[in-house]
Amino acid sequence: MRKLLFILALTAIILISGCSTPAEVAEEGDNVTVDYVGEFENGTVFDTSIEEVALEEGIHNPARPYEPLGFTLGGEGMIKGFDSAVQGMAVGEEKTVQLSPELAYGPYKEELIRAVPLDDLPNKTTPYQIGDRLSTAYGQQVVIVDVNDTAAMIDFNHPMAGETLKFNITLVSIEE
């Protein structure tokens, strides 16, 4: 009995004295994986890493692997607000953030709608129509918003430019 009391007392002293290991939190430069659900302001889910959510929301893509998203904090390719939200999170922690357009895909810019001569567009067997999507030489997806006999008005804005987005994020792992 004395031995048990001694062990319990020693354990309590160690925990109280601050010798316990603090939870590791994600920092810039860490490679992290997260599960997420992305929604528009009206609550419509537009993307998720969780297959069950995709099925429930009617956005499931059978060709897509549903798995945690991996990226390097502070690196390229992740929207600023999402990256910032993950910094400081511990593994298993959940967070919901709302991102203004400036922290997501940027504001919608009218000046990014440009006239492109039809002769400069890829050859097509049918006439171009409003709503047609094209890929630029850099892989950017753009959409035709107006067309006449000589030119197409093409919107070069990101499809979610100007949108306020909400993300439910769970940090799955951290690797330094």
pTM of the model: 0.78
CB 135 within 8 A of CB 141: yes
For the segment 79-108, the average pLDDT, to the nearest whole number, is 97
Burial 66-101 (b: 16+ CB within 10 A, else e): eeebebebeeeebbebbbbbbeebeeeeeeeeebeb
Looking at domain 25-107+160-175, its CATH class is alpha beta
Instruction: Give the pLDDT confidence score for residue 138 in this predicted structure.
Output: 86
Lowest mean pLDDT among 23-27, 149-153, 162-166: 23-27
For the segment 150-174, the average pLDDT, to the nearest whole number, is 96
User: How many CA atoms within 13 Å lie on the side-chain side of 173?
Assistant: 9
For the segment 21-43, the average pLDDT, to the nearest whole number, is 91
CB 156 within 8 A of CB 113: yes
2 confidence band (pLDDT: 50, 70, 90): low
Residue 22 has pLDDT above 90, yes or no: no
CATH number for region 110-155:
2.40.10.330
3 confidence band (pLDDT: 50, 70, 90): low
pLDDT in tens, 35-84: 999 999 999 999 999 999 999 999 999 999 999 999 999 998 899 999 99
For the segment 140-156, the average pLDDT, to the nearest whole number, is 94
Residue 98 has pLDDT above 80, yes or no: yes
Within this chain, domains 25-107+160-175 and 110-155 share the same CATH topology: no
Instruction: Give the pLDDT confidence score for residue 126 in this predicted structure.
Output: 82
Instruction: Give the pLDDT confidence score for residue 18 in this predicted structure.
Output: 47
Domain spans in the chain, listed from the N-terminal domain onward: 25-107+160-175, 110-155
Lowest mean pLDDT among 1-15, 52-66, 159-173: 1-15
Instruction: Give the pLDDT confidence score for residue 91 in this predicted structure.
Output: 97
